[in-house]
Amino acid sequence: RDILEAAETGPMELMKNMKMDIYDKEVFVFTPKGDLYKLPLGASLLDFAFHIHSKLGMTCTGGKVNGKNQKLNYKLKSGDTVEILTSTAQAPKLDWLAFAVTSKARNKIRQTVHEMNNRSATLGKELLERRFKNRKIELNESSLMKVIKKLGYKTVTDFYDAIADESLDINNVITEYEGLDKKIPDAAEIRSAEEFQLMTAADDDSTSSDVLVIGDDIKGINYRLSKCCNPIYGDDVFGFISAEGVIKIHRHDCPNATNIREKYPYRLITTRWSGKLGQQFGATLRIVGNDDLGIVTSITSIINKERDTSLRSISIDSNDGIFQGFLVVGVNDTVALNNLIKKLKTVKGVKDVQRSK
């Protein structure tokens, strides 16, 4: 009827206009068997593969369009006959998102790549832990986080991925890790805000007879609070005379304590806390919970409200709705630290809070 009523412009012109209206937002393509599929304009050969089946899309290597080989990013045209080619060795990649336009394809690519990264990160973590165990090195999570940041990785997942794909040598990680305890910070050293820690008597090599009683209350001895276990006032501690002649103070439950006692019993020295407090001590807390909106704010708010307690640094890593964080807090003694841990455990969404050794 429209053709007859529009006789002055001619039937062919009307048909041309109708074709433009129909196909300006979508394309129609065929399978080799003649089945017809509709996709949005700009859809690629990869979109067509995911449109038929997700498994087909994830293993797609290209295809034949009208009998000619075409790549994944080929933009489909109405009337194309498409045959999908696959390989069991193929796997989705993030750069596929550059030419995938349908939501089904994009969501499946992101999901699969994320799952692959998690599997890769798990493998990398197992490789690292096995190498540390073979070298008889205690793996301290807080120290490892410092190494990860120093090596320039934004997330723990990226770090373990690099180990799994061998772009990062585990031996380099171990070298950096072992160098943490040997490095003595310079008071004038420039550090980032995340790495900043308040100076304590241990950091500036000063001796404080008010805080620690070493041996038979020997005076004038340099000591440092060991970085591997970060002892605070109230912990059961002992002194270890290092090769440099400086006494390092360790907790009795320090990861390195057993090794020290077995290899260097002649370097141990009795150490205890005095009855006076004169400084704050840095303690590292590992906290795990649900990545709910505002949970980090709730955690930091509790710390800020605590008297004589300060938040020195915070590092948070979130994955699949679960976050893991490391907090370095300044406290006067173990009593204040234990009270803070109890309060943090009451925050909604927090699953576990522990002092990191």
pLDDT in tens, 28-86: 999 999 999 999 999 999 999 999 999 999 999 999 999 999 999 999 999 999 999 99
Domain-located, residue 9: no
Last residue of a domain, one of 101, 128, 147: 101
Where is pLDDT greater, at 41 or 232? 41
Domain-located, residue 52: yes
CB 292 within 8 Å of CB 272: no
Task: Count how many domains the chain has.
Answer: 4
Provide the 10 A C-beta neighbour count for residue 65: 19
What global pTM score does this model have? 0.38
Provide the 10 A C-beta neighbour count for residue 26: 13
96 and 127 share one domain: no
CB 287 within 8 Å of CB 327: yes
Amino acid at 5: E
Domain-located, residue 115: no
Domain-located, residue 109: no
269 and 285 share one domain: no
176 and 148 share one domain: yes
List alpha helices for 226-354, DSSP H. 257-263, 295-305, 334-345
pLDDT of residue 27: 92
- At residue 197 the predicted structure's pLDDT band, cuts being 50, 70 and 90, is very low
Query: CATH number of the domain that 339 lies in?
Result: 3.30.70.260
Domain-located, residue 344: yes
pLDDT of residue 129: 86
Domain-located, residue 269: yes
CA distance 28 to 25: 11
pLDDT in tens, 145-163: 888 888 888 888 888 888 8
299 and 340 share one domain: yes
285 and 259 share one domain: no
Domain-located, residue 110: no
Query: CATH number of the domain that 74 lies in?
Result: 3.10.20.30
Q: Which domain holds residue 96?
A: 19-101
pLDDT in tens, 235-281: 888 888 877 667 888 888 888 888 888 888 878 888 877 655 556 77
Per-residue three-class SS string for 200-231: CCCCCCCCCCCCEEECCCCCCCCEEECCCCCC
- At residue 1 the predicted structure's pLDDT band, cuts being 50, 70 and 90, is low
Domain-located, residue 150: yes
95 and 127 share one domain: no
Beta bridge partners of 23: none
List alpha helices for the chain, DSSP H. 2-5, 11-23, 45-52, 54-58, 103-134, 141-150, 156-164, 170-182, 257-263, 295-305, 334-345
Last residue of a domain, one of 72, 101, 130: 101
